[in-house]
Structure 1
């Protein structure tokens, strides 16, 4: 029976994916085979020797020591796209809040609570409503930075609203390219997008390469009066540079999901309390997706949506024993492991090998189960991180 340790409040729909006759699930589990969590920080915590995998019910994994876990053979999963619709809808709300006089209009209407004469209130509102006039999204240009699961959905939404859409993503995957509408105009670089877009929406991960992607230099070239939307990660934007661009009038508005000190005093900023994925449906989708990925990995050795190991799957050979091997991506490791199996007279029927940066992963279906001595010998091969019979 596999043991799954949970942190945070995981949706019951996700927990229900674990069959009780095969999985023990709970927050007090010791020696877990897998961890399922949301925002709990694992940095600095003792790593159980039993731990095989961690699944984050969400897209960001900055609360998990991904690289360190990878070198220990621990596969880290996330759930890209499971919360995409929730974020997409909030981006639309952000654009509307930045464009129409919705928030000041609400505040003004609420300030009239002292009035008791309906006719007088309506007359006053008719007189004052021009103060809250705004524009429309139709016909405007939206620039999307990052065209993955969320970015492509935002693009489709904008096109349906009659907007023109520009896109920039230097790391666009083949799968993402297939999802992307051909009505999206691909831009060669970030400055060209910033200079043409009325709205700029950020949808890139928090990496060293994207830290302060939107900085003073980038904002100097943004279209005057543009609206910048950040529902990705706070580190992508240099907050001080944004404040300066707003105060100079270069940037029209900043709408984000990440409040910072000083934002509350700037009337051109609309800052939400990190609620982009905070919908019941999103939390359910993330939990179900994370649970399914853990189950498939523990039961079959398959990897999908990992942030430190390559995606890999292979149909099971009937009657075969499945062996999985995580190793450093250096020459000779797999060959030595196969030699050990050959010396133990274990016949390899089928196998698949994939690598990702410094790590590699292998699925091997063998005609018979290797003995403990053979498994120990494979584990001692230089470069092998973890070997497991599934």
Structure 2
């Protein structure tokens, strides 16, 4: 049997595959579609992150494919209907990077609320901006709003609560009697926008969530609020967000995901000179520890699928 890995992972995890199974580990494949299609021709399984498109073209090029291991949890790059038709198992690494994402959300929140961690150039220049930066805030006592209350949002809630934050969330798909609601204010989408001092997004990208945080929704947010998006690009109208930050209507934002990924120079130009904005390249769930957990779980998921367990 043959496994093809098209994006980076912890290579040591691959040792868990049984001897006799052929593994092609080539993270450069994600940037060469033709080479990817050629590589999967004899593959029984592929392992990907979020950039490799598992669509009908790739599935047609991989007639033996039985399993898709996802190094993460988002599945918008995978044609689930086509995989279901072919009886191909789609295997996300559920829970393995939860801690990494939750810590990113809390870290970004604290940095943006405090507003004092981007002063290196001024400090080195001898400007000593103590008065300007001494007006930053504390997260304790603020409302952490969670759009979606799945596993990652629950981990964020646990850490936000420990910091003295009040919790509010909107998730129409989570049953009212679910234990995750304990200590979390349950509210509608519009109410959440108006209540949250920090709004953290934890929903998938679907036709229902695409553009959900557009100009109208952003205008309904509390003045000076913080937005953190570690979910998926496309949920937030990026131009509208830049306008809200530039006008001062919002106090700051952290974006780890974008409508265009990788973010090109052309797409990135939108964010040039935008104040109080943290931009990172889809790495909220990628830490050394998280990558190890994700990689080992994905290998185990694929191993079991190929073994028929």
TM range (shorter): 0.7 to 0.9
The question of 1:20 aligning with 2:15 is answered no
Aligned residues of 1:104 and 1:132 also touching (Cα < 8 A): no
Does 1:60 find its partner at 2:58?
no
Equivalent position SS for 1:201: strand
Contact 1:165-1:183 within 8 A present in 2 as well? yes
CA RMSD of aligned residues (A): 2.2
What is aligned with 2:112?
A: 98
Q: Structure 1, unaligned stretches of length 5 or more?
A: 113-123, 302-390
Q: Which residue is 1:156 aligned to?
A: 158
Q: Does 1:285 align with 2:306?
A: no
Which stretch shifts more, 150-159 or 26-35?
26-35
- Corresponding residue number in structure 2 for 1:132: 133
**Partner of residue 101, structure 2:** 87
TM-score normalised to structure 2 length: 0.84
- The separation in 2 between residues aligned to 1:42 and 1:29, in whole angstroms, is 11
Give the match for residue 197 of structure 1: 196
Q: What does the per-residue CA deviation read over 1:191-233, in whole Å, with 9 as the maximum and x for residues that have no partner?
A: 1011111111111111111111111221221111111111111
TM-score normalised according to structure 1 size: 0.67
- Superposition map of 1:1-390 within 5 A: 2-21=1-20, 23-27=21-25, 30-38=41-49, 39-43=51-55, 44-45=57-58, 46-112=60-126, 125=128, 128-133=129-134, 134-172=136-174, 177-178=178-179, 180=180, 182-187=182-187, 189-258=188-257, 260-301=268-309
Name structure 2 gaps, 5 residues minimum: 26-38, 259-267
Q: Which one has a larger percent helix, Structure 1 or Structure 2?
A: 2
Aligned 8 A contact 1:167 1:193 in 2 = yes
Partner of 2:31 in structure 1?
none
Between structure 1 and structure 2, the one with the greater Rg is 1
Question: Whose strand fraction is larger, Structure 1's or Structure 2's?
Answer: 1
Query: What CA deviation, in whole Å up to 9, does each residue of 1:146-191 have, x standing for no partner?
Result: 11121000000000001001011122279x934x26111121x111
Larger RCO: 1 or 2 (CA < 8 Å, sep 6+):
2
Contact 1:197-1:226 within 8 A present in 2 as well: yes
